[in-house]
Structure formats: C-alpha cells, structure tokens
Structure 1
Amino acid sequence: MQVHRKAYPLPGPRNRRRPGVRRLAVAMAVCLAPGAAVFVPTVSFAAVPSFHTSLDPSKVKESMQYLVKTFGVSEAEALRRLELQNDAQALHAMLSEQSAASYGGMSLDHDNGGVLVLSTTRPADVEAYVASMPDRAHVRTRTVKRSLQALEQTRETLAKQVGEGADSVYVTSVDTENNSVVMWERGWVAESKSNGTWAEKSGRNRPTTAVPGDQRLAVSAEKSKADAAVKMVPTAVERRVLPEPKQSYTPYIDWGTCHPLYCKSVYGGMRGGLRLNIRRDNGTTGGCTAGFNVRSGGGDVNGWGWVLTAGHCVVGKTNTVKVHHNGYNILNPHGVAGGYYMEVNSYPYDFAFLNYISGTESGAWLENWGGTGYRNSVLKYCRNGGQDSNADTPCGNQATEARVTINGYHALSAIGSGWIVCASGSGSDTANYPESYDSGAGDGYLVGTRCGRVLSKDVGINTDVCARAGDSGGPLFSQLDNKAYGILEGDQQSRSGPCASGEKNNYTAISKIYELMETWRTSGYTGGAIFRLITGTNG
C-alpha cells in the first residue's frame, strides 16, 4: 500500500537560549512581603536534562487535524501543541519523582492559546524545568495549596476507609484542576444494592465485597462509614454525585485489508478496534469493540492471551455462545481465572478479559503475529465520504487500515485535561453496513478512528471523542507516545447517528483496571495470575 505523505510546515526558529535564574521567557512574577523567605530552586538549570522530543507530523496527522478543525489553528501550531503535550508527559514523570513534595499536576489549555498550566506549591521548584523547555513561552505556573502527592495520599487513605472497589457505593479521585480530593457517590449502585439486583448487574461469580443480609442496612452503613472517613482525613474533601454512564454496547468489505467489521486472521490478527459480536440471552446479537491485547502471567493461566473489552458487554450473559468476529468464533463468552469470571460492570471498574476458545484460535489471531507489531497494536481505520467522513471527524487516509503500536500506558493520575487522544470503534447501523449486526449506533455513523481531547477527569477519563453504541470497550490511546489510556465506557448524552459538536464520552482508565485486578490477585481470586496489556511485539 503506497502512502502519500504531505509535508507540514514547521514552526519558526525557537529561541533556545536559557534565561537566567531571575528571568524566564514565561512571566513568573512572585510578590514577596518584607522579610519573606526567598525560594531557591532545588534543581539548577544545568542539572535538568533535555526531555524535548520532536514529533513526525505524518505519525500524528489525525491529532493535528483535530486541533486544526476544532480550534482553527494552523498545522504548524497544531504540531507545536502536540509537542508541548509530549514534553509535558515527560515533565510529569520527572516532577513526580524529583519534586513530588511540591508538584501539583498539569493541564493543557487549548481554549486560551495551547498553554500548559503547571501547578505547584513552590514555583521556584519548577523554574529550572520550565526554563529547559523549548516551548517555555507557552507554559504558565500557578500556585496551589497541596501537591499531587499529598492529594493522592489523602485519596488512598479515604479509599481504604470506605472500602473502595467494584461493589462500593463510594469511590474517590483527585481533582487537579481544583486541587482537591473528591468522594463520589454512585447512586445507581446504592439503589441496585437496596433492591437486591446488584449481584446480577455488576457481574456473577466474581470477587465481591457484598455482605449477605438486608442490603438496605448495608447501604446505610456504607454511608455512615463514608461520612466518618471524610471527617478523619486532614484535607478537605468534596462530595459529589457520579452520574451513571449510558453504556454503549457483512459490511462494506475492503478485500485484502482489515476492516473494523471484517477482518480475517490472514490480514493481521486481533487488534484493538475490531468488532466483537456477542450473543445475548434473548437470541439477538449485539456489538462491542476489542480494546487491547492482554497477556496473563502466573497461576493456571500463565502465558494465555486475552482481549480486553467493556465488562457490560458480557456481564449478565448466561449462554455459552462464543464471541465471534465476522462469523469466526474467537473468544470464550466469559474469561475465567482462579475460578472467577474476569469481568465486572461497575464503572469506573467496567472491564472484561476474554480468552481464546482454543490454542488454535489463539495462534491464528494472536501468536502467529509476533514480531510484526500486531500483538501490541490497535487498528486505525478512516472512512471515505458519507455523512460521517473525515470532514466531520478528522482522521487520515480514507478507507485504509493502519496500526498504532502500543508500548505502555498512562495512569489516570498522569493524564492531563487538554491532552489530545484518539479512539477506535466498531459501532454500526445496518443502513450503512447491511451485512453487519446493528449495534444501535444510528444511521450515518461509520466505523473507525476519531481523535479529540480529554475534557476532564473524575474516576475516569471524559473526552469529546465521538462514540456510539457498539464502540464500548474500544481503545483510547495517544499517537504522540503510543500509550494506552483506557477503554470506552459510554456516553453522557444518548446520541445516535453522525457525530456532532459537543460530544461527551467517557473511558475506564487502564490504571483503574490494574488497581482492581491487583486487589483480586492478592486476595487469591485470580489464582495468582497477573494481567497486563501486551506492550511489545513479542509480548
């Protein structure tokens, strides 16, 4: 396949001269009262290694196009913003390690010129790091009361006090924008517990903290425990109600290539972004999307291959019909390890690990593609024309398939508001794909890859990436550094049909999945097995 690459104009020359200690290219004025202590940077300018990485415009084309369309900027400006985000991600890792006591998190403000906003309790602590950035003119610092480390410690204490987990009414998060810790109440969990439907709704035969007896009393006890926990922690805690996400649960065939709804193992094997057809108990078939390839280590499932998708796609399904793609039976209806189903439907813990039905299928769809970059990849597929073409949602070369290799993941705490992200999905409608199973996406919504940005975080990742029913479980990732972010939970608007302005869709974070799986592992529920995304070509 020949790919035509367009040459993108690069930003003009940047002044790389480092300013003195008393002067930065960014205005960082500090007013000191008489006798006030003067903060001296804890790290000298010379001690900060360069962490800037230039991006290849051809590899981040879709992310650039999103910025050009959404904010009316030039391609050069879009590239600058993406490079600033990429540097910011490296800066986050450095400050979390070297200035943890004062670093307060960061965000990227696209509405006001693509500026990185860096929070800190001591501005002097970050001066050297900011000064070492080529794009320091677009970095602003703000002083906050609490470091990210302190907020996380408070959150962890609070989480332990309330027994946070898949079955808890209360879950916690850090709000770096407001420099606070948030206690979220999941009202739908409390209601379901009280009426006795929670076990079936959230997932059968899996680790649970539910206590037999009068669940109404149990819910009341949880509230009392949460109230007491808030009073015990030193940091002020915000109380908020978490809305319940509306979960988003052949074709025009492109012969010789891999289509989200139509792919054969001879075209490259299993990847994030492919359709998973799931037979419901009422005999109908619904669609979800593969998120990432996974490998388990240890226990009775050592070395097994799995596919990560949304838990609500299979929880509550009791029949034994295999999960298939385009008529090929590939995955078991439930993934089991340690005697328990590896699935849960309890946002922000909404995920399922589904294993292959046999070694033959595992070999055909996963193992035979080692060393080619397929095992650790997601599908990038863009549409050509139609109501929902790249004129509406910027993507790239149309009606062609490509791969984005995944080399790691970003924890929820490391993801900033304003970060540019992309997602792949297989939501469809029979009006557009007559030979496929209708996922309920609506007429005019086409399968494929879309890009957008992180709008905010709570216990998950909230984005403006367009998604519809059938995209659930699909991968959220970054083209900048090939890191995974999460899998699609659902939308907050009940939309259908072509993408429109003002999209709001949320994703379960990979780190939240790992967090719960580690709890299960240490409790013996996984038989000692560890589940991790495949992040290497031979994984």
Structure 2
Amino acid sequence: MRRGTNWRLAAALSLVVAAGSLTVSGPAAAAPVIRLAPAAPVQPADVVGSVDYLTRTYGVSVREAVRRLELQRTAGALQDVLARDHGDTFAGSWIDQENGGVLYVASTAAGKLAPALGAIPDRQHIRVVGARHSLRELAARAREASARLGLTPEQEPVINPQRNRVELHHGAAAAVRGSAGRLALAGDLGVTVVDSPTPTPQACQIQNCEAPMRGGLRLDFLDFNKSPKWTCTNGFNVHGSDGWQYTVTAGHCSEDGAGYYSRHAGLYVGRYNYPTYVSQNYPYDGVIMPYVVMNGFEYVSYWVVNPRNTVFHSGKSKEFPIDGMFTYSQIEVGWVACHTGQTSNNTRCGTVLSKDGGMVTDICTRGGDSGGPLFSEVDNMAYGILHGGTDSNGTCTTRSYYSPLSKVFDTARSYSGITFNVNSDA
C-alpha cells in the first residue's frame, strides 16, 4: 500500500479523534502538573470592545465574557508551555465560542496530559481531546509537501489543528488543482486541498491625526513623482535589526512601488523599499516602509514618539498600547480580536473563525479599511493587518481576512536579511 493511502486513512481517523470521540483505553502515566505564572484579573473597562462583541454575539453576561477573555489569555500561555515541554505530543488548541467558550487542547497522549492540567485556571472549561498527529508531525508533513509539490513561499501549506491535518488554500490550492499529477501527489502526501473564498482588497479613507503614528490612521500614497495615487490604512510601527524604524500596511496599497511614498495629514511618513516589499496576495499581503528622510529632515523624529506603538481604538483610547506580537502559529481559532479601520472610523471586535494561512474573522469591515491593525484587547498584542473581505451585507463585509504579521516579517527577512518586530509600548 502506498504511504499516501495510509495518510488519507489517518486523516479520516483524525477527524473522529479531533471531535473527541476517541476512547483512551488502559492506564496512562500522568505528565507532571503544569503551572502557569499568575496573571491579574481582566478588567471589563480594559476590554470594552471584546466584551461588547461577546455579549452581543453570544448573549452572555459581562462576567461570562470576561471569563472567556481570561481563558483566551490562559490559552496563549499554555500553548507555549505545551509546545516547549510536550512538543512530541501537543497537537494544537482552539476555543469554541459557539458552545460555551471552551478551550480544546489536542494531544496524541490525551490520557497523560489531561491530569497535568489540573492546576490551570478555569480548568472546568478546558477539554483535552485525542489526536493522531502532533503539530511537529504535521509541520514535517507540510514541509515535505511544500518541497515535493514545488510550492512557493506564498503557497505555504496550512496546519489545521481542529481537523488534525495539512491543508492547501488559495494560491496553493489553485496551483495544485492546475496539474493532475500534483493533485494526485497531494493526495498521496495526505494533504487536503480546500476551497476558500477569495477576499477582495479594500482601499482606505481618511483620519487626520497628529503624532504619534499609530495603527488605523490614513496613509495617502503618492507615486515616485509625488503625484497622488490612493489611500490606505497604517498597521503598526515596526523596527528592524538594521536600526531603522518602519510602518507596515497592506502590500496592495503600494502595488510594488506604484505607490512610492506614504503621507498622513500632509506630512510624509514612509517610502517604498524593494527588499522589504512582500506581496499583494493574501495571506502575505504586506509592505514594510522605512520612514522618509527628505530635504535633510528625518520624519521618524516626528512620527515615532512615546508611546512607541499604539493603535487608534475608538472605544477606549486614541493611543491604545501594543506590547508585542503573536505569531501565526500562536493565534488560535476562537480568540477574540479587534480591528480599527478608517472608513469604518471605529474599532470593531470579532472572533478568529478559521485559519487558512491567514486569519478569517467575522469582524465587520468596509472598503477603505485595508492595512488596518488586528490586535487583542486582552493582552495588547498585535496579530495582523487587513487584506480584504467577502460576504458583504450591503454596509460591510461579514468575513474579513488578515495577513499575519509574522508571515509578512518572515518573508521580508528572507528578501532583505533584516529581522523585523513590532515596536513595544511595554
């Protein structure tokens, strides 16, 4: 029997496992008890957008909404420990907001792991379920599939912890479907080709603010001759290992240099830089632009002031602090996140519904919000920047797609040799 046939059978079995139907028989030696560093309680006043979203969408109380947000924070810390200390068996985690705000932790050794979580806060809302393949195994399978299928960096396979399998979405799926041989090989490798809607990039609108530069502000783009082109929204302030300061926004806002300069409220902000231009395509849609030096004036000295990284949050503060960044692999399905857009002219929150290489959310966005920041009120962490949306209800899109910052940064590093990270207000 071919190895690929075994993987297809394993993938089918893993669906049963991931659903929690696997019965673990026989005694299992429990793993050592896991303890997390204590964290201060989440205050409703600090997470107003997320609480409002949860209470409206799921009909829960403010107290229950806060509990779910605290569980989300716990999930972020727990997955780091599991990936480090149980990497051979940890198979991912996610939160089910639809059915009680429950955190699911998947493991190939569920019987051993479950008792080890006894000291984790809100343990009664944590379910340990069996899985056939660990994240490490799936990551190895994804690397093999990428190499043997001849995929480009922008066609990176996606690991789906809920289904415990490797998937191809968007450009990768189209590339494989275009060749009968590659499609058959994908099946032999146990890789699932998924139909995903194509989000429509969105242009941006206005918001005039003084320094500091922050996520959610309008960026007017001009060509090399400084003629106006279009507008987009700023994502986050970024620093590079080369010592320069940058902004990051959607790559389709620059169109590979057609939009050469960015400007806000009549003042220059950034400029196109070929080595740090990533892509116009989801989920790598991003451009990292160094601050302009023009006529001897360094515009970074005006725009980047304390606090060094904030976003415009219409429900809380015009300078909501950002303390760091979660990578794509750290962000879990079911987490609540918020987005600020210039056309929307406010901050809206929603749930990460799925991961298809990027993050798919139910946040209401409008044409004009592209490039805007996706972030968490719970822990002040940056997630990604808006690419576009689908399923418009007439006033806004009901499915919004975000390029993960970590993928934009990693790809830019491969082109430029520069390591990027968001500036921190911590």
Q: TM-score range by the shorter chain?
A: 0.7 to 0.9
Give 1:514 shift.
Answer: 2.6
- Mapped contact 1:186–1:243 kept (Cα < 8 A): no
**How does 1:361-372 map onto structure 2 within 5 Å?**
361-366=299-304, 369=305, 372=306
Alignment-derived partner of residue 96 in structure 2:
109
Instruction: Quote the Cα distance in structure 2 between the aligned partners of 1:466 and 1:230.
Output: 35
Q: Structure 2 residue aligned with 1:464, among 345, 358, 362?
A: 362
Superposed, 1:279-428 pairs within 5 Å as 279=222, 285-297=229-241, 302-315=242-255, 318=258, 322-332=261-271, 334-336=272-274, 340=275, 342-358=277-293, 359-366=297-304, 369=305, 372-373=306-307, 375-381=308-314, 396=315, 401-427=317-343
Aligned to 1:201: none
Paired amino acid for 1:465: I
- 1:200 equivalent in structure 2: none
Query: Quick check: which one's strand share is greater?
Result: 2
Query: 1:518 and 1:223 mapped to 2: Cα distance?
Result: 31
Unaligned runs of at least 5 residues, structure 2: 1-19
Paired with 1:343 and 1:48, the residues of 2 have a C-alpha distance of 40
Is 2:103–2:125's contact at 8 Å kept on the other side of the alignment? yes
Q: Distance in 2 between matches of 1:238 and 1:164?
A: 14
Amino acid at match of 1:42: A
Using the TM superposition, give the Cα deviation of residue 402 of structure 1 relative to its aligned residue in structure 2, in angstroms.
2.9
Query: What CA distance in whole angstroms lies between the structure 2 residues aligned with 1:319 and 1:488?
Result: 18
Mapped to 2, the partners of 1:54 and 1:187 lie a distance apart of: 42
**1:261: which partner in 2?**
207
Partner residue of 2:186? 230
Equivalent residue of 1:157, what SS? Answer: helix
C-alpha spacing 1:121/1:319, structure 2 compared with 1 (3 Å): closer
Could you say which residue in structure 1 is the equivalent of 2:31?
42
Aligned equivalent of 2:405: 510
What amino acid does structure 1 have at the position aligned with 2:320?
V
Q: Distance in 1 between matches of 2:289 and 2:222?
A: 14
For residues 458 and 319 of structure 1, what CA distance do their matches in structure 2 show?
Answer: 28
> Any gaps of 5 or more consecutive residues in structure 1?
1-27, 191-218, 252-259, 382-395, 428-445, 521-525
The answer (yes or no) to whether the contact 2:278–2:284 under 8 Å persists in 1 is no
| Match of residue 156, structure 2, among 149, 171, 176 | 171
TM norm structure 2: 0.85
Name the CA distance, whole Å, in 2 between partners of 1:277 and 1:97.
Answer: 43
For residues 233-262 of structure 1, give each alpha carbon's deviation from its aligned partner in whole angstroms, at most 9, with x where no partner exists. 4xx21112443220112x9xxxxxxxx701
Query: 2: CA distance between counterparts of 1:54 and 1:284?
Result: 48
SS, match of residue 131 in structure 1: coil
Local SS of the residue matching 2:64:
helix
Deviation for aligned residue 1:485: 0.8
Match of 1:198 in 2: none
Distance verdict in 2 for CA 1:490–1:59, change over 3 Å: same
**Distance in structure 2 (CA, Å) of the matches to 1:480 and 1:132:** 21
Task: Determine the structure 1 residue equivalent to 2:12.
Answer: none
Shift of 1:163: 4.2
Q: Tell me the alpha carbon deviations over residues 443-465 of structure 1, each in whole angstroms, 9 at most, x when there is no partner.
A: xxx41211111111111100011
Contact 1:312 1:344 in 2 (8 A): yes
- 1:208 is matched with which residue? none
Q: Number of residues paired by the alignment?
A: 402
Does the C-alpha gap of structure 1 residues 153 and 450 become closer, same or farther in structure 2, counting only changes over 3 Å?
same
Distance in 2, Cα, partners of 1:327 & 1:496: 32
Say whether the 8 Å CA contact 2:385–2:402 is kept in structure 1.
yes
Q: Partner letter of residue 273 of structure 2? A: G
Deviations 1:493-517 (A, max 9, x none): 24553x5xx8110100112113322
Is the partner of 1:417 in helix, strand or coil? coil
Q: Is the 8 A contact 2:218 2:233 kept in 1?
A: yes
TM-score by length of 1: 0.68
Over the aligned positions, Cα root-mean-square deviation in angstroms equals 2.9
SS at match of 2:144: helix
Per the alignment, do residues 284 and 402 of structure 1 end up closer, same or farther by CA in structure 2, a change over 3 Å counting? closer
Structure 1 position 243 matched with structure 2 position 197: yes
* 3-state SS of 2:269 partner: strand
Which residue is 1:140 aligned to? 127
Take 2:22 and 2:73, find their aligned partners in 1: how far apart are those partners? 28
Cα distance, 1:228–1:516 mapped onto 2, change above 3 Å: farther
2:418 to 529, 534, 538: 529
Which residue type is aligned with residue 135 of structure 1? D
Aligned partner (choices 113, 118, 125) of residue 131 of structure 1: 118
Q: 1:435 aligns to what? A: none
**Judging changes above 3 Å, is the alpha-carbon distance between structure 1 residues 162 and 514 closer, same or farther for their aligned structure 2 residues?**
farther
Q: Distance in 2 between matches of 1:29 and 1:48?
A: 27
Partner residue in 2 for 1:162: 149
Q: Per-residue displacement from partner, 1:110-130 (whole Å, max 9, x unpaired)?
A: 211111122122223322443
Instruction: Tell me which residue corresponds to 1:489.
Output: 387
User: 2:36, 2:120 within 8 Å by CA — same for their partners in 1?
Assistant: no
Distance 2:114 2:331 in 1: 22
Tell me which amino acid in the other structure corresponds to 1:60.
Answer: V
1:43-93 deviation per Cα after TM superposition (whole angstroms, max 9, x unaligned): 1x3x63455552122211211111111111111111111111111111111
In structure 2, the partner of 1:70 is: 57
Bigger Rg, which one: 1
Q: Secondary structure at the match of 2:246?
A: strand
- CA drift of 1:426 comes to 0.9
Distance 1:240 1:341 in 2: 30
Q: Could you tell me how far apart the structure 2 residues matched to 1:58 and 1:112 are?
A: 25
With over 3 angstroms needed to count, the CA separation of the structure-2 counterparts of 1:223 and 1:68, relative to structure 1, is: same
Q: Secondary structure at the match of 2:285?
A: strand
Partner of 1:273: 216
**1:448 and 1:129, CA in 2 relative to 1: closer, same or farther beyond 3 A?**
farther
Aligned residue for 1:151?
138
Aligned to 1:478: 376
> Whole-Å Cα distance in 2 between the matches of residues 118 and 463 of structure 1?
21
Distance of 1:507 and 1:30 partners within structure 2: 34
